[in-house]
Amino acid sequence: MHLTKCERGVIEIMMNARLILCMICPDEPGLIARVTGVLHRHGGNIVENGEYVDPETHQFFMRSAVDGIEDAELLLKVLKTELPKGASVKLQEATNKKVMLMATKEPHCLGDLLIRSSFGDLPMEVCGVIANHEDLRQLTESFGIPFHFCDHRGISREEQEANVKALIDEAEPDLVVMAKYMRILSTEFIQSYPNRIVNIHHSFLPAFVGANPYRQAWERGVKIIGATAHFASEDLDEGPIIAQDVTSVSHHHRPKDMARNGRDVEKRVLAHALRLVLEDRVVVTGNKTVVFE
């Protein structure tokens, strides 16, 4: 059986390391028994497991954390023979992932992620910060992280994005995170990293899209405000949603109070969403996600 380049990388997985198995396939009877049987025959011990069947598409989703596998390449080959036609299977080591952060001027999300990474609270290695302003250089470099200034002024969006893309491609991160990077990315840029760019939006999507969301919320007299973390897509702020949360407000809150409270929600939601993605708990299906928490 022919393996893709990504699948051949399984060979490099250390013997008996914890593996994360993620699979999608058409649903049919006996799938769980077949998969767990294969894992058992290859010495695997399932330490965490989650399954879901979409009632509309009849697609079966499964995520398993497995210890004790000695030959991951063989396991992957056998699994492919046991699953229905059209199955998608990913098997990789549960290890820290490399992440490139992007920011503009606001420090709250960037600072929170740098602290969490520095103290081992998130399973990631921050390989750098790319920003279109210099404001966050000192914050970034205080953590010993490379800061890359990619000015957008005086050049075209295409040229500025090419500079950003060159830095990302050189670092080869697993994930790109827009920690309040306040520029709209082109379709071409997003298509270079499909479902690998995580963005935080300062409202509870799909409500209050665009500029000044907290003033919009204040003008409507809302009683809760929220934040949404999602994968970036070609349609602005409409990519697959990973995580959302809210906090209560009242008529006493002015727009600036809502914005302050909103910043706390933003960094909390972004960190939560990032953890889910880093731990391979998020599966994109169409414009939605299946999340195994």
The predicted pLDDT at position 13 comes to 45
Same domain, 185 and 200: yes
Same domain, 73 and 116: no
Same domain, 232 and 101: yes
Same domain, 52 and 66: yes
Provide the number of structural domains found in the chain.
Answer: 2
Domain that holds residue 81: 5-93
Same domain, 170 and 69: no
pLDDT of residue 16 exceeding 60? no
Residues 6+ apart with CB under 8 A from 153: none
Same domain, 82 and 108: no
Residue entry with tokens 């929220």: 226
Spot the catalytic one: 67, 237, 245, 280. Answer: 237
Strands of 59-67's sheet in order across:
45-53, 59-67, 19-26, 88-93
Is 237 assigned a catalytic role? Answer: yes
Same domain, 154 and 204: yes
Same domain, 86 and 111: no
Which of 72, 93, 114 corresponds to the end of one domain? 93
Instruction: Show the tokens assigned to 244.
Output: 């959302």
The predicted pLDDT at position 216 comes to 82
Q: For position 112, which CATH number holds?
A: 3.40.50.170
User: Interior CA angle at 188 toward 267 and 159, to 5°?
Assistant: 90
Same domain, 136 and 237: yes
Whole-number Å distance between alpha carbons of 236 and 183: 11
pTM, full prediction: 0.89
Same domain, 148 and 36: no
Percent of the chain's residues with pLDDT above 70: 91
Q: In whole numbers, what is the pLDDT of the chain averaged over residues? A: 91
Question: Is 268 within 8 Å of 229 (Cβ atoms)?
Answer: no
Q: 100-140: per-residue pLDDT in tens?
A: 999 999 999 999 999 999 999 999 999 999 999 999 999 99
Same domain, 49 and 108: no
Q: For position 27, which CATH number holds?
A: 3.30.70.260
Which of 93, 118, 137 corresponds to the end of one domain? 93
Same domain, 247 and 167: yes
Which of 93, 110, 141 corresponds to the end of one domain? 93
